[in-house]
Amino acid sequence: EEDDTDADADADAGDSSGSRDASAPPRIVAVDLQPMAPLDGVECIQGDITSLETARSIVGRFEGERAELVVCDGAPDVTGLHDVDEYLQSQLLLSAVNVTTHVLRPGGTFVAKIFRGRDVGLLYGQLRILFERVSVAKPGSSRNASIEAFVVCQRFRGG
């Protein structure tokens, strides 16, 4: 079971035509397995991003508008078995990418936590189909031995 399944669609949810009122606040949708304290301007969904019901709820909150940015910083409970942890994280990431293809505007950005393992090159290749630029960032505060990093995907090709 995932621990912190945020698939925060931190979004300036204007449509891709740019017709959204620039003075309107951005739409922010936060998703987590655990209950979240209410935050001003944030639409909270308690649910599992890997479930179809939660994915539909996220997409529905955008009411056909598109996000500028989607952030997924969720991670499964770590088992200590790198292959298992990488697989569980990849399933979480796959679900976040699925939602992203429905809510991100063309040219938008997707940032997600990943566990780097031996198959990470395959992941990058798949993401490059959807995004013009894919890079990896490892926070300076992260331990060198940690397999955790963030994939930054820019210029979404979708529509």
Closest CA to 68 of 103, 114, 21, 17: 103
Considering 113, 127, 131, 156, which one is annotated as catalytic?
113
Neighbours of 99 (CB within 10 A): 25
Whether residue 113 lies in the annotated active site: yes
For residue 132, what are the contacts with CB-CB under 8 A and spacing of at least 6? 154, 155, 157
Position of tokens 């949708």?
A: 29
Rounded-to-integer distance, Cα 32 and Cα 30, Å: 7
Under a CB-based contact definition with an 8 Å cutoff, are residues 111 and 67 in contact? no
Active site residues: 113
